Structure formats: C-alpha cells, structure tokens
Amino acid sequence: MSSGSKRLKNLQICRPFVYGNMAVPLKEDRSPDIPPDHTHSWTIFLKGVNGDDLSSFVKRVVFKLHETYPNSSRSIEEPPFEVTETGWGEFEISIRVYFVPEASEKNVVMYHHLKLHPYGPEAEQQKSDGATVTSMQYDEFVFNEPAESLFEILTKKSNAVLPAQKSMMVPFSIQSENEELDRLSDAHAKVQENIRRLTERIHVLEQEKAALQSL
C-alpha cells in the first residue's frame, strides 16, 4: 500500500454539494431544430455549495437521461458538471459521481426527478409569467476513514467540512421540503376536485334513475 492510499482511522470528512435542475418555458421564437412538441429548456446539474469547485476530487459525473434522448448517458469530465436539453415531460435522472483515482473511493449514485412545472398556490401565475423553475437538493459526500491523499486534497485544495463544522444548509433543506409539500398539496386538491365531480355525477344519475322508476 502506497503512503497516499493509507487510510486515516477514526476520521470522517465531508464535502457539501447541491444537485437538481432548472427549467424555463421555450418561447415562440425557438430554434428550428428543437422538436415542436418540446415545451421547456432544462439543465440538470451537480455543483459545490456557493459555487465551490468539486473537480479537485470529482473526476467525472454521468447523467442518465430518459432513454428517448440520443446518447442518453452523458459523461461530463470537467466542471460545470451539467447537461442542458429540451423536452416536454418530467422523469427521473440518475447522477453517478466518479472520484479521482487517488481518492480510492467507490462511485456514488443519486436520483433526481426532473421538474419542469411550478407547484403550489402561485403555480398558475408563475406559468403565465414564464418563470424559471428550480428544483435543488442539498447533500454531502461523506468519506469515512479517507485515504491520506484524499484528505490532503480535501483540506488543501477545496473547502472540506469536518463533522463538527457542519452547517445543515437549512435553506436547501427547507426548499426540498416545501417542494414536496407543494406537490402533495397540488395532488390533494386534484383528488378533492375529482371526488366532487364524481359525487355530482352520482347524484345526477340517481335523480335520472328515480325519474325513470316513477314513469
């Protein structure tokens, strides 16, 4: 074992990052090479918090898009680690992160559901305004007993976070929770509306049945 690959026992070091997507509705003067049924331009990304550079320990990031996209597995070898595309539907994207060889760490994978449309009480206004939709989640790379070479990279070439120094990045956590609450609220409202319509329909059918029976 080389000196750089020696593991540092009883030590944990973390590196914060965010991942997610931004989406904006396409305008009428779109490029002619964009399919006519595509409604949005979107970008899926993985980046450091506050724009911190991750390339000192991240070798590449592979975004796996929906299989209907040409070359659906997109490998990005240098920052910015992102892919921009156009489309009309929301789907799940896998994000696989590969670390530099000297890190001696296995790759990690996470998943993000592409968000194109706003949710919540102001959704209709945001749609009419053509507002940019952002769906972003905070997370951390956690390295337990890292190799000496990785520890040196994280402490000298990037802003690592030791466990005692963590800030929980509350704004990102709140944003993720609020997005999920908006989705649930929107789904609940749709269910209630469907129930109301079905109830009215049943009532009409019962009245028609009673009228037929009285003949």
C-alpha span between 42 and 40 (Å, rounded): 6
In this prediction, what percent of the chain has a pLDDT beyond 90?
Answer: 55
Q: Which range in 91-105, 125-139, 156-170, 182-196 is most confidently predicted, on average pLDDT?
A: 91-105
Q: What is the pTM of this model?
A: 0.73
Nearest Cα to 134, choosing from 4, 17, 37, 40? Answer: 40
Q: Are strands 92-99 and 58-64 parallel, antiparallel or unpaired?
A: antiparallel
Distances, alpha carbon 35 to alpha carbons 40, 115, 132, 133, in Å: 11, 19, 20, 21
Q: Which range in 23-27, 125-129, 169-173 is most confidently predicted, on average pLDDT?
A: 23-27
**pLDDT given for residue 28 in this prediction:** 85
Q: What is the mean pLDDT of residues 14-22?
A: 95
Enter the tokens of residue 54.
Answer: 């991750």
For residue range 40-90, list pLDDT tens digits in order.
999 999 999 988 899 999 999 999 999 999 999 999 999 999 999 999 999
Which amino acid is present at 122? E
Nearest Cα to 134, choosing from 146, 155, 150, 116? Answer: 116
pLDDT band with cut points at 50, 70 and 90 for residue 169: very low
For residue range 92-121, list pLDDT tens digits in order.
999 999 999 999 999 999 999 999 999 888
Task: Give the list of residues 6+ apart from residue 62 with CB closer than 8 angstroms, or none.
Answer: 73, 74, 75, 76, 95, 96, 98
Are the beta carbons of 188 and 180 closer than 8 angstroms?
no
